[in-house]
Structure 1
Amino acid sequence: MDSVLRAAAMYVALMILFKIAGRRSLAELTTFDFVLLMIIGEATQQALLGDDFSLTNSIVVIVTLIAVDVGLSLLKRRSSFVSRLIDGEPTVLVEHGKILYERLRHARLIEADLMEAARSSQGIETVEEIKFAILERNGKISVIPKEH
């Protein structure tokens, strides 16, 4: 039972920590982000298994993590409040060619990140060409160009 409680607590703790860390898609991870995730994974493994490295304990921990994940996904389907709490909402970063700097700062992004997404997805060169730029729930930035 100790493994189940540790796994559930670690799941919740990591969910909260990654929520605080902000949205970022896997495609946008830097080398340092990747190394940091590997270190977190190792620390998490030690916290989850404790001194019991048996196959049975590992299976119990894995089943618990999957059960918590499935349970939360079912809860998110039933409650829009829980869905917003866990996954957040899309955030408009640019509106009609104007950068909303407070929202950009809150998302811990810089103008260069925004323009990189605009160039790579739409070939846009200036902010004035953007109708909307939206930080999606999955961490990607969607760019909608202005009509010419």
Structure 2
Amino acid sequence: MWTEWFYPGSASALLWVVVGSLAMYLVLLGFARLAGVRSFAEMSAFDIAVTIAVGSLLATTVATPSPSVLQGAVALGTLFAVQLGASWLRIRYPRVTEATDNTPILLVGPGGRLKPKGMQRARVTESDLRSQLRAHNVLDLSEVQAVVIEGTGKINVVHGHGRDAVEGRWVFEDVRDYDVD
């Protein structure tokens, strides 16, 4: 009974896992090539959801006999088509972007001023923030222009480099509460 955990019962079952893995890998590469560089960029919450779904689909298809490799390939193609369609809609209709994407939130403003409301909205603690600042080589919080949690959950630290906040205004246009001090 416990041997089933380590050996499927026949060498041919293992061979089909290898063949299925190679086939799905090639299908994935083909679809990623057709869809373009945005395929795995994880620039929006929608992109992350598709990436997770692709990983889950690949794992299920190559590790089990059902779904078949053909079914997995069709499902993979469908996910890429949905992602391309959503990207097309997001480009043409800003309301689609508003509906599918999370708004970036300001956690630290110019001069290193903490934004408690933003931190609370993003559910980020001061300890979380310190960890991210260390990861971005920040020694002096007053030299930070902004810390923004993006719609994907990634935290970006913008260093001031001695410039005034007004110079980089365009970069912060879509950040929630950037104008509020």
From 133, 136, 146, the counterpart of 1:118: 133
Partner of 1:143: 158
Q: Distance in 2 between matches of 1:64 and 1:85?
A: 21
Are residue 53 (structure 1) and residue 54 (structure 2) matched? no
Q: Distance in 2 between matches of 1:83 and 1:136?
A: 14
Summarize the Cα distance change of 1:126–1:117 in structure 2 as closer, same or farther, 3 Å threshold: same
Once superposed, what is the RMSD of the aligned Cα atoms?
3.2
Partner of 2:16: none
How do 1:1-148 and structure 2 match up within 5 A?
41=56, 45=60, 52-96=66-110, 97-121=112-136, 123-138=137-152, 139-145=154-160, 147=162
Displacement of 1:65 in angstroms is 1.0
Summarize the Cα distance change of 1:120–1:54 in structure 2 as closer, same or farther, 3 Å threshold: closer
Displacement of 1:72 in angstroms is 0.6
CA shift digits 1:44-71 (9 cap, x unpaired): 949xxxx952232222211111111111
Query: Number of residue pairs matched?
Result: 107
Whose Rg is larger?
Answer: 2
SS at match of 2:72: helix
- Structure 1 unaligned blocks of 5 or more: 1-17, 24-36
Q: Distance in 1 between matches of 2:108 and 2:161?
A: 11
Deviation above 4 Å: which 4+ runs of structure 1? Answer: none
Identity, % of aligned pairs?
A: 23
Q: More deviation in 51-60 or 98-107?
A: 51-60
Q: Which has the higher contact order (CA 8 A, sep 6+)?
A: 1
Summarize the Cα distance change of 1:104–1:95 in structure 2 as closer, same or farther, 3 Å threshold: same
CA shift digits 1:76-110 (9 cap, x unpaired): 11122212322223221111322111211221222
Q: Distance in 2 between matches of 1:120 and 1:145?
A: 17
Q: Distance in 1 between matches of 2:118 and 2:81?
A: 34
Amino acid at match of 2:150: E
- Structure 2 unaligned blocks of 5 or more: 1-43, 164-181
